[in-house]
Amino acid sequence: MAWLRSAGVSLTAGRHVLRFVADQGFGIFHSLRIVNPSATQAPLGGTARTLPGTLKLADYDTGGEQVSYHDTSAGCDGDCSYRAADDVDKYGEVIYQTSAGEWMEYTVDVTATGTYNLSVQASAEHGGATFHVEANGVDVTGPMTVPYTGSWGNFQAVTRTGVSLTAGRKVVRLVIDNDAGNNDAGSFLNLTVQP
C-alpha cells in the first residue's frame, strides 16, 4: 500500500462533503487523510531529550501526522490513554502494533561528538521485522531486526555499536522498514544511547 499526496488543497472552515471519485480502475482505497502543513514540530513538553541517555519512544515530538510521526492507520489502536489524540498505536506508554512505513521523530541534544552504542527495547510475537534509526535524515544504524520474544510486552534490547553522532540539536527518527509478512512488526519501549 502506498500513500498518494496532493499539496496545496484549499479548504474553507465549516462542514463539507468530500467525494472520492475513481477515474479508472485500481486496487484498493484504504483511507483519506487531510494534514495541516503549517503544523509545527516540537519536543514533547517543550524540552529536547539529551543524548547520551534514554528516551521513551512514546514521547515522540508533537506536530501530528506527517510532521512528527507517520502511522498507517487512522486513530490510535490499543490502550490509548497516553497521548490519546495521536494516531500512533500504543498500549499505555508502549509503541504497539507497528507496520512497515511507520515512523516517529524525537528532537534531541547530543552533548558530545562521538561513537556510541544505540539500543532499542523491542518485542514481537513473531519476530523478523526490521527497523532503523536516523539522525537528521541519515540512517545511522542500518537495518536492525526485531527479535521474537513470545509476547508484545516481553522486551529485549536490540543493539548497534559504532553509531557516530555529532554534537548539537538533532531530529532522531525510528523507522519501521518491514513487518516480515506479519500484520504487526513489533512493539517498542525505549531508545538508549551510551558511550
**Residue 30 pLDDT > 70:** no
Distance from C-alpha of 87 to C-alpha of 67, rounded to nearest angstrom: 12
DSSP letter assigned to residue 51? E
Enter the pTM of the model.
0.82
The pLDDT-based confidence of 24 (bands split at 50, 70, 90) is: confident
pLDDT attached to residue 106: 98
- Between CA 71 and CA 80 the distance in angstroms is 14
Class of domain 44-194: mainly beta
Check if the beta carbon of residue 156 is closer than 8 Å to that of residue 178. no
Q: Could you read off the pLDDT of 92-149 as tens digits, one per residue? A: 999 999 999 999 999 999 999 999 999 999 999 999 999 999 999 999 999 999 999 9
- pLDDT of 9 over the 80 cut: no
